Amino acid sequence: MAKIWYLGHSCFQLEIDDVCIVTDPFITDNPLAKNIQLTDVKADIILVTHGHGDHIGDLVALANQTGALVLCNYEIYLWLEKQGVTNCRPMNHGGRYSSRGVDYKVVTAAHSSSFPDGSYAGNPVGFVIEGQHDCLYFAGDTGLTLDMKLIGEEFDLTGALLPIGDNFTMGAKDAAIAATFCKTKKVVGMHYDTFDIIEIDHEEARDAFRDKGVELFLPEVGETFNF
């Protein structure tokens, strides 16, 4: 069972088979993560889905702090090299990487991607993370796509981390459909409540998933839980 520390927005610290994985690091400038210290975050692997500031805000600092291997698209890889971060692996849709018994597959995400200065940051992605007992789909920022059905056909997911904040990504109703597409019964919501424009009604969100027979977990920022 994966151990998860929710750091806010789309940032999680996952422990799978004794490997520490951090997703889309954005803590310092996240108003909901004010009680979390970046220096307390550990990582062996950092997964980056796209170049928007609310997903790479602490990327360089965390990579330098931990020495973790960063998995990202080629354009972010080149950007990181310019920042002096060299422990990176560039990947693209369909690519796989395996380390210490955990596999990572890059999957499609329907979104945009640019760096904070507006320059091109490559194609957005999601990841499927597969360990010995856990298989999690970390969707990144995305809308609902039929490609999610392919994930359900290829993997036996134990859970999914899906955006539910609407406006920039899927809302809860589409995310509940996404859960049925990828054949998971357990979802952790992400990318919601951080800013006014993506605030949600929690009960309405839970109802949308309940209608599809899926359990939605909405953790508090800073909460640690098993999933």
pLDDT per residue as tens digits for the range 83-115: 999 999 999 999 999 999 999 999 999 999 999
CA dist 28 and 107 (Å) reads 28
Q: What pLDDT does residue 119 have?
A: 97
22 band by pLDDT with thresholds 50, 70 and 90: very high
Percent of the chain residues past pLDDT 90, beyond the cut: 100
Long-range contacts of 167-170, Cβ-Cβ distance < 8 Å, separation of 24 or more: 167/197, 167/198, 168/111, 168/141, 168/197, 168/198, 169/111, 169/141, 169/142, 169/143, 169/198, 170/142, 170/143, 170/144
CA dist 215 and 207 (Å) reads 9
- What does pTM read for this prediction? 0.98
Question: Which CATH class name applies to 3-218?
Answer: alpha beta
CA dist 214 and 65 (Å) reads 37
Q: What pLDDT does residue 106 have?
A: 98
Q: What is the pLDDT of residues 188-207, one digit of tens each?
A: 999 999 999 999 999 999 99
CA dist 58 and 56 (Å) reads 6
Q: What is the pLDDT of residues 130-149, one digit of tens each?
A: 999 999 999 999 999 999 99
CA dist 123 and 120 (Å) reads 9
Q: What pLDDT does residue 83 have?
A: 95
The residue-averaged pLDDT of 163-173 equals: 98
